[in-house]
Structure 1
Amino acid sequence: MFAVSPVPYILGRFLLAFFIFMSFKLLLKEYEVDPIYIDLALVLYLIFLFSATFYRGDGKTSDYNLMPFDFLNYISEVNLSTFIAALLISVMLFVPGGAYLYIKRIKFAYSWQILLSSSLVIELLQFFTKRGSFDIDDLLLNTAGGCLGFLLAKVVHKRITHEKQTTTTKLSH
C-alpha cells in the first residue's frame, strides 16, 4: 500500500475520472442527456481504475496482508501526507462506482456486495498477476469508498430533486 508510487499521478487520474462521471450524472439530471453517456462514463472510470490499480513500477510483488487495519502500523514509518494520500486514494477509487450503482437504481443491500466483490477481484488480480499485492485493508477501504459514493449520489439526487420541486412550486404560485 505504501510502496513508492506516483500518488499525484494516480490521484489526478482518479479526480479526472470522477469529474467526468459526476458531470455526466449532473447533465443527465439537469438536461436529460441520454443515459448511454452515464454508461460511457463508467467505462472511462473503469479504464482509469484499472490503470491506477495495476500501475506498478517494477511489477514484481505478490505479497499479501490478511490483517485488517494493518495500515495503521505504518503511520510512524512514512510521511503523514503520504499516509493520508494513500488512504484517500484507497477510499476514493470506488466512490464513482458506488455513485453509478445508485444512479442505476441498484439497492444498497446489493450495491455494497457488488463493490466488495469488485474490490476482491481487483485485489486477487493484483496478487496473481504480480502487479500489486492482496491487501485486506484495500478491500475494506475500497468498499467503504464505494458505499460513500452511493450515499453521496443519494444526497446529490435528493438535493437536485428538492430544488426542482421548490422551483416548480414557486413557479406555480
Structure 2
Amino acid sequence: MNSFEEYLNKILQKVDASAETKRELYEEFLDHLEQLRRSYVTDGVQDAHAIKLAIADFGESGLVGGLINKSVLPYRKWLLALSWFVFTSYSLIIVYQLLLSQSRLILRHTELPNPNFIPFQTILMYANRYQSYNFDTWFFNLFGNVLLFVPLGFLLPILFAKARRFSMSIVWTMLASLTIELTQLGARLGSFDVDDLVLNVLGGAIGYAVWIMADVGWRTTLHKLRPAIK
C-alpha cells in the first residue's frame, strides 16, 4: 500500500457513506493528490518528498474526513444528479440539432458537398471569405462548432473520473464528434468535414479548462473550511 492509499483509507474510515460513494471519493481525491504531486515534481521536488507535500496540502486525514461528512456529502448526491440531468439534456439537444432537426432531414434529399479531409481548409475558407456568407452561417460554422462542445468538455470530468486527465477528455470528445460526423455522413444528414472535429475538440478543451478552474476553486474552498471543522 503506497502513501496515498494509506492516507485516503484513513480519510474514508471517517466518512459515513456507501461503499460506492467511498469508491468515487477515493478516485476523485487520488486524482487531486496526483495532480499536486506532479506539480511539485515539475518544480524539481523529489518524488518521495512531493508525495508528503501533496498530503500536507490536502490536510490531516481526520479533519478531511469530518469535512466530507459535514460539508461535502450532503450536497454531492444532488450535484451529481444535477450534472447527470444537464448531461442528458445536453446530449438530447445535440442529437436533435445535429441529426434529427428538420434542416438536417431536408439534406437527405439534396446533393451534399464532397467530404473534406484537409485540416483547416474549411476554417480558413470561412475566416478569409466571411463577407461571402450571412452572419448565421459564418458564425455557426466557425464558433458554433466550438461552443457546442464546451459543455461536454466541462461535464465529462465531473461525471467520469478517467476524463479528469486532459488526454482522456480530449479522446472522448473526439470520439463523440467523430461518431456524429460519421452518422451524418452515413445517413446523408450532412457531409464529413475534418474541421468540424478540430473545432469540436477545441470546444471540449475550453470546457475542460473551465472545469479545471472550477476544480481549483472547489479545493481552495475546502482549504478555507478546514479550520472550522471541530
TM-score (norm 1): 0.71
Structure 2 match to 1:97: 152
Which structure is higher in RCO with an 8 Å CA cutoff and minimum separation 6?
1
Structure 1 match to 2:94: 49
Partner amino acid for 1:73?
M
* Shift, 1:161, TM fit: 2.5
Q: Does 1:111 align with 2:169?
A: yes
Q: Which runs of 5+ in 1 are unaligned?
A: 1-27
Q: Distance in 2 between matches of 1:131 and 1:91?
A: 20
Structure 1 vs Structure 2: percent identity of aligned residues? Answer: 26
Which of 9, 21, 31 is equivalent to 2:75?
A: 31
The structure whose residues are more often helix, as a share, is 2
Structure 1 match to 2:200: 142
* Shift, 1:138, TM fit: 0.6
Q: Report if the CA contact (8 A) 1:98-1:149 is conserved.
A: yes
Which of 211, 214, 229 is equivalent to 1:156?
A: 214
Secondary structure of 2:107 counterpart: coil
Please list every run of at least 4 consecutive aligned residues from structure 1 whose deviation after the TM superposition is greater than 4 angstroms.
Answer: none
* Shift, 1:80, TM fit: 5.1
The structure with the larger Rg is 2
Q: Distance in 2 between matches of 1:131 and 1:81?
A: 19
Q: Distance in 2 between matches of 1:130 and 1:56?
A: 13
Task: Tell me: CA distance 1:152–1:162, structure 2 relative to 1, closer, same or farther (3 Å).
Answer: same
The number of residues matched between the two structures is 144
Deviations 1:107-151 (A, max 9, x none): 212111111111011001011111111111111100110111111
Structure 1 match to 2:30: none
State the Cα RMSD in Å.
2.5
Task: Tell me: CA distance 1:90–1:145, structure 2 relative to 1, closer, same or farther (3 Å).
Answer: same
TM-score (norm 2): 0.55
Which of 112, 117, 128 is equivalent to 1:66?
A: 117
Q: Distance in 2 between matches of 1:45 and 1:156?
A: 20
Q: Distance in 1 between matches of 2:225 and 2:75?
A: 15
Q: Report if the CA contact (8 A) 1:68-1:136 is conserved.
A: yes
